[in-house]
A and B are shown apart, each in its own frame.
Chain A
Amino acid sequence: DMKVTQMPRYLIKRMGENVLLECGQDMSHETMYWYRQDPGLGLQLIYISYDVDSNSEGDIPKGYRVSRKKREHFSLILDSAKTNQTSVYFCASSYQDYAGCSDYTFGSGTRLLVI
């Protein structure tokens, strides 16, 4: 069963602590993404990774960094978490077919509370 796995599912951190969110996929997809979801705002793109060590900022990268050392893993790091980073974080991966069209698969999300 092809899937995107996120760990942990729930996380509580204090302001100023470092946070590591992990994402794995078993489909050998080249491209992976981190989104955050806030009430009334839909999903907003934080970072894209095109492959190992090939990352690009999305629409809201400030306060985040990412790491992709293996194709199947993509990590989101918050150095010194802030309360406004309380959110639900989704990881996704995608592949492009012969026609250049991408199909996306999302993980189940990580619910982060920063207090």
Chain B
Amino acid sequence: GDKVKQSPSALSLQEGTNSALRCNFSIAATTVQWFLQNPRGSLINLFYLVPGTKENGRLKSTFNSKESYSTLHIRDAQLEDSGTYFCAAEARWTGGADRLTFGKGTQLIIQP
């Protein structure tokens, strides 16, 4: 099965509403990163998390390593928040550096 499972796979929201995206891990994640892939295809770093919570403007993310999940909350969604959100977990691999494993993404559409 997927080592990093994102839900939902797609989401449509009205402008001004709130949402929560989730990642569940079946690997022993040490850190988590959240990215937004914009319509041009560029990956934009949103958060880099050790266990705990970070906030940046209308975005807030939590990583709970004991329960193996991470969430990304978007408050007061704006049109420019549209895109595909990826979470990626870093886990220890034997014999080498940590590796970043990606989920399949959540496609978010914000409607006016």
Contact = CB atoms under 8 A, between A and B. Distances in A.
Contacts of B30: 101
Given A48-B99, A50-B97, A42 B42 contact: no
Nearest to A58: B99
Nearest to A106: B43
Given A41-B104, A102-B31, A50 B41 contact: no
Given A101-B50, A106-B43, A45 B100 contact: yes
B90 interface: yes
Interface in A48-66: 48, 50, 56, 58
A109 B12 CA distance: 26
Q: Is the interface of A mostly helix, strand, loop or mixed?
A: strand
B104 A42 contact: yes
A109 B90 contact: no
Q: Interface residue tally of chain B, by bracket?
A: 20 to 34
Given A42-B86, A43-B86, A56-B96, A104 B33 contact: yes
Contacts of B105: 42
Given A41-B104, A45-B100, A101 B31 contact: yes
Chain A interface size band reads: 20 to 34
Given A102-B31, A109-B41, A42 B97 contact: no
A68 to B, nearest CB: 14
Contacts of B95: 56
Interface string B97-112: 1111111110000000
A41 B102 CA distance: 9
A108 interface: yes
B53 interface: no
A103 B48 contact: yes
Interface of A: 31, 33, 35, 40-45, 48, 50, 56, 58, 88, 90, 92, 94, 96, 99, 101-106, 108-109, 111
Interface of B: 30-31, 33, 35, 40-43, 45, 48, 50, 86, 88, 90, 95-105
The 7 closest A-B pairs by CB, nearest first: A42-B102, A43-B102, A106-B43, A42-B104, A108-B42, A103-B48, A101-B31
